[in-house]
Amino acid sequence: MEKNLDNSLSGASAVKEIHNHEEDDIRKALKDDEFKSALAEVNEVKLENARLKMLLQQIENDYNSLQTRLFNICQPDLKKSVNPTCTSEKIADEEECELVSLRLGRSPSPSESKKVDKKRTREDYHCVQSNDGLKLGLDYSSGVSESDLLKPNNNPSPGPTSEVVKTMRKGDDESVKKRAGDDEVSQPNVKRARVSVRTKCDYPTINDGCQWRKYGQKISRGNPCPRSYYRCSVAPLCPVRKQVQRCLEDMSILITTYEGTHNHSLPIEATAMASTTAAAASMLLSGSSTSSQSPKNFTNLANYSKTTPLYLSNSSSSPFPTITLDFTAFPTTSSFTSFNFPSNFQPSSGLLSNSLSFSSPESYTIPKILGSGCLNYDSTSTLPYHKNLINIGSSQKQFDQPFIGKNNTSTSDKLKEDSSQQALTETLTKAITSDPSFQSVLAAAISSMVGATKT
């Protein structure tokens, strides 16, 4: 009886053992499978990583070349005067200067930037560029700490608080005037340059990501719509101001005029507008400072713009040189950043070849910005402050076409499309690389785009 029990027990244990072995085998097999799949995943990720690295490197290279060219246009005369025998060995120095010319917020005068750039160390340059290069134009890392942001621009003495300024205004007009003079000295050109942005917007003002405080409203002559005056309230002594007024001809169009540059870092949402206006201002300033008759930057555009005659009016008729960015053809919302790039815009891959969809495949007569814009210098506009007009709005349809077509075409059509796309890309590359003015706006756009994708 006991033996039988023993036998049965041993049999049961044997069966148990067999089961354990099977389970072990299954577990091992499962582990092997998991391990293999995990390994495969790791390999895929590695490949993807390498691919992304290459892509990033390519973008960085493109971006750097654009910056080089941008600087070449922005300060051609300066370089000639400072260093008439500018050789290729000086490229590194030029690149240092580029960093300043593309930076948001602070735009020192050419002479100032020259001084600053000479002082700027190689480490500074690398700290901005080395990581990914894409930070350029978005983050201003000039060693300005958060506490520094509250101090007046380039002012060694501790700046007066807003309260002090108030008392100064009341009690001492001379000091106020002096202070205003100091501001102008610190930002001589940028202060005077104005960038006017036309947008279709139902809201009282566009949301450009920056904080504004309204300080006045006035009904200007010839326009029943009141003009509102805003001051940047991010930093107490930020000199940036903007005027907002509805267009007389079309009440749905909002005209926002920016003046000055921020002396503090900007929130990411604000960099889109800031970089765009900064680029436009730099275009304007580089043009007006080099030659009042026919700036090289703008005449280059005439080569492309055969349908629209190029026109640069004399800025002497207005106290401020003003450049107008016309976004009225974009489907706008209250947020600038949202209409800056359409919803179907895909900046993640094939950045330059896919995202920059240009609407004129036959030729590059009109350089388009971000797939739907055209640089348009319109002499017939009756805009207030109008001097130069950059029309960055065009038909949204044109922008959509490449994206819509991909889903509906046959294989042969796809091949045709691919080849034509490639040809188009090459054509556009030529257009981009040969047009410095377009590059400056493009550089700003890329800055904005990178900023948007980073959020």
Partner DNA sequence: CGAATTTGACCTGCGC
Partner DNA sequence: GCGCAGGTCAAATTCG
Q: Does 224 sit near DNA (CB under 7 A)?
A: no
Q: Does 216 sit near DNA (CB under 7 A)?
A: yes
Using the minimum distance from each CB to DNA, give the nearer residue, 169 or 430. Answer: 169
Please, what is the minimum distance in Å from the beta carbon of residue 231 to DNA? 7
* C-alpha span between 90 and 205 (Å, rounded): 45
- With contacts defined by CB under 7 A, name the span among 92-100, 147-155, 167-175, 330-338 that binds DNA: 167-175
Q: Which of 63, 71, 140, 229 binds DNA (CB under 7 A)?
A: 229
* C-alpha span between 199 and 256 (Å, rounded): 8
CB 234 within 8 A of CB 262: yes
Q: Does 233 sit near DNA (CB under 7 A)?
A: yes
Q: Does 162 sit near DNA (CB under 7 A)?
A: no
Q: Is 299 left (phi over 0), alpha (psi -120 to 50) or beta?
A: alpha
- In terms of DSSP bridges, do strands 253-259 and 194-200 run parallel, antiparallel, or are they unpaired? antiparallel
- With contacts defined by CB under 7 A, name the span among 148-156, 213-221, 269-277, 444-452 that binds DNA: 213-221
Q: Which residues contact 436 (CB under 8 A, 6 or more apart)?
A: 69, 70, 72, 73, 297, 300
* C-alpha span between 283 and 222 (Å, rounded): 30
Q: Which of 129, 189, 243, 265 binds DNA (CB under 7 A)?
A: 243
Please, what is the minimum distance in Å from the beta carbon of residue 389 to DNA? 18
- With contacts defined by CB under 7 A, name the span among 1-9, 58-66, 227-235, 347-355 that binds DNA: 227-235
Q: Does 35 sit near DNA (CB under 7 A)?
A: no
Q: Which residues contact 379 (CB under 8 A, 6 or more apart)?
A: 309, 311, 313
Please, what is the minimum distance in Å from the beta carbon of residue 325 to DNA? 18
Count other C-beta atoms under 10 Å from residue 439's C-beta.
23
Beta-bridge partner residues of 100: none
SS3 207: strand
100: tokens are 């300043």
Q: Does 241 sit near DNA (CB under 7 A)?
A: yes
Please, what is the minimum distance in Å from the beta carbon of residue 230 to DNA? 8
Q: Does 19 sit near DNA (CB under 7 A)?
A: no
* C-alpha span between 9 and 310 (Å, rounded): 100
Q: Which of 13, 220, 348, 419 binds DNA (CB under 7 A)?
A: 220
Please, what is the minimum distance in Å from the beta carbon of residue 172 to DNA? 11
Q: Does 213 sit near DNA (CB under 7 A)?
A: yes
Q: Does 382 sit near DNA (CB under 7 A)?
A: no
**Strand segments (E) across 120-276:** 194-200, 212-219, 226-232, 241-246, 253-259
Q: Which residues bind DNA (CB under 7 A)?
A: 166, 169-170, 173, 177, 212-218, 220-222, 227-229, 233, 241, 243, 319
